[in-house]
A and B are shown apart, each in its own frame.
Chain A
Amino acid sequence: MLDDWLYLGIFTVISLFLPAAAITIAALLSPKKPDPLKTSIYECGMETVGETWIQFKPQYYVYALVYLVFDVETIFLYPWAVAYNQVGLFAVVEALLFIAILLGGLLYAWRKGALEWA
């Protein structure tokens, strides 16, 4: 068991290390001539006006929310999917109910207009 994790851990470390190393090497190789104009924020040639943090619309929240709900659904549905070959039709019906309830939530969001981008 732990071997799996060891490999995954090593892999994770290396896959983060490799780009980091590349960037570090490049940073060492590259020239450094900072300049206020260069380091200013890119804003189509204009000076930055106001704070960086502009207001976001709640749409983002709704998308993240629906995504969250569907994510949590996987906790329940993936074990069911794994056990799918071993369970009876009844279990399938239960899962269908589960899906139907979620679909209901999606439809609610839809009807409520929460899924519209504009």
Chain B
Amino acid sequence: MSFWIDPINFVIAWLKGLLESWGLQPGLVTFVMYLIGAFVTTLLAMLLVVFLIWLERKLIGRVQDRLGPNRLGPWGIFQTFADMLKIFTKEHITPDGADGVAYNLAPVISVGAVLMVWAVIPFTATVVGVDFNAGVLYLMAVGALGEMGVILAGWGSNNKYAMLAAFRAVAQLISYEVPMVLALMIPVMFTGSMSLQALVKEQDIWFIFLAPVAALIFFISSIAEVGRTPFDLVESESELVSGFNIEYSGLKFGMFYVADFLHAFTISLLFAALYLGGWRGPGAEQYPMLGFVYFALKTAVVYFIGILMRASLPRFRIDQMMDLNWKYLTPLALVLVAATAVAGKIVPAEMAGLRLVVMLALNGIIFAAADRLMTRRRSARRQVAQAPRPVAHYVQPAPTDPGD
């Protein structure tokens, strides 16, 4: 194995050989390797946030016709480090009557729940933390842990507004998990496995083409899961001071911040892996590192779209948000699963081209119908009662009389 073909595995193999040469037991070697792997992955993810914060500030600044951070280092790239230093040294204020364990555990769980997703993501054809055969459900389960973090934060702070906000946030999180689960079911159906690596490998045709509406649902609901614009009711920066994390300060608050950015990036990763073919691309099989690049590019595109949305869309009202979820996305996802299941059986997987066409058409039809229903429902609400119209069969349209 050459370094240039698959550097990550090369390093892994080298390390392994090194450890074994020290005379460690094979079990211990595995353990240490896992420890290193996990540590490196999580640390990289955490450090990535520093870059992401800078990137996002810069980009949003550009969108808003500002410069963004521009003082420290080239293009202000060290701004975040300065911020980090500041936040590291700020005082941790624990509010009166806070529930110590819950209060302190909440930020840890929030970050941990996002980091844990990284354990199952296939970065290249050969590098995947663990090719877990219930991977898709693992993602959802980890999401459930994130909810616990929010609840703990809200409850631990001993503040009624934090509590209220936490419950609003939890309502949002759990609501949007429903269409997400359903949207994820469609790739699983096509693949016949819940392992993320298998999902990526199955994507000879990207699932975004086979199931565009499912991809859209997944995208929308994952943005809602992150709680970014237009779903940032949890924070509502321009209206409220903050949400469930109002009583936090210093790095404990910083951790929620980190979790937010990391989560936003993680869902981009997931979207790229689940619907955009992950690391797949020309030559990615032979040169796994190339796959890493493809994956990073795809993720960047998705993340960029997320930032654009954040910069351009107004915020939903909470009832609109709930309506969107329960009265639009969830029924749509259910119907989509049903329709895709039937269509997939009628057009077998062997006829890939036909299947693609059929699926595209089906998605188009369903989306158009859903859109139409949605529009009609909305306009029906607004519609003023009209007088009954005459019937064409018996009544000729009256000729317009200019003298009238």
Contact = CB atoms under 8 A, between A and B. Distances in A.
Q: A and B touching (C-beta < 8 Å)?
A: yes
Interface in B218-260: 241, 246-247, 250-252, 254-255, 258
Interface stretch (B15-23, B60-68, B91-99, B298-306): B91-99
Interface in A81-112: 81-86, 88-89, 92, 95-96, 99-100, 102-103, 106, 109-110
Given A6-B34, A11-B41, A115-B327, A18 B115 contact: yes
Given A52-B158, A63-B322, A106-B334, 4 more contacts: A27-B92, A74-B137, A77-B185, A103-B331
A115 B37 contact: no
Contacts of B251: 22-23, 26-27, 30
B95 A4 contact: no
Given A11-B116, A42-B246, A81 B185 contact: yes
Contacts of B119: 7-8, 11-12, 15
B42 A14 contact: yes
Contacts of A52: 97, 158-160, 163
Contact of B92 (A19, A26, A85): A26
Given A42-B246, A52-B160, A67 B174 contact: yes
Nearest to B259: A19
Contacts of A33: 91
B175 interface: yes
Interface in B82-106: 87-97, 104
20 contacts: A3-B30, A11-B119, A15-B38, A15-B119, A18-B42, A18-B112, A19-B115, A38-B93, A48-B160, A54-B164, A56-B167, A60-B170, A63-B174, A67-B174, A70-B330, A71-B177, A71-B181, A89-B345, A96-B341, A117-B322
A108 B326 CA distance: 12
Contact of A63 (B87, B89, B171): B171
Instruction: Please classify the interface of chain B as helix (H, G, I), strand (E, B), loop, or mixed, using the class held by over half of its residues.
Output: helix
B111 interface: yes
B255 A23 contact: yes
Contacts of B42: 11, 14-15, 18
Nearest to A75: B137
A67 B137 contact: no
B126 interface: no
Contacts of A8: 119, 130, 132
Interface in A34-58: 34, 38-43, 48, 52-54, 56
A64 B331 contact: no
Chain A, interface residues (CB within 8 Å), range: 35 or more
Given A41-B159, A54-B160, A30 B31 contact: no
Given A11-B129, A39-B93, A74-B137, A118 B174 contact: no
A40 B95 contact: yes
B46 interface: yes
A71 to B, nearest CB: 7
B320 to A, nearest CB: 9
Contacts of A110: 326-327
B107 to A, nearest CB: 6
A14 B190 CA distance: 34
Contact of A4 (B130, B137, B246, B250): B130
Given A42-B241, A78-B194, A29 B89 contact: yes
Contacts of B289: none
Interface in B29-65: 30-31, 34-35, 37-39, 41-43, 46
A60 B167 contact: yes
Contacts of B247: 41-42
A3 B38 CA distance: 13
Contacts of A42: 95, 159, 161, 241, 246-247
Contacts of A56: 167
B238 to A, nearest CB: 16
Contacts of A4: 130-132
A33 B249 CA distance: 13
A22 B345 contact: no
B318 interface: yes
B281 interface: no
Contact of B342 (A25, A26, A92): A92
Contacts of B182: 70
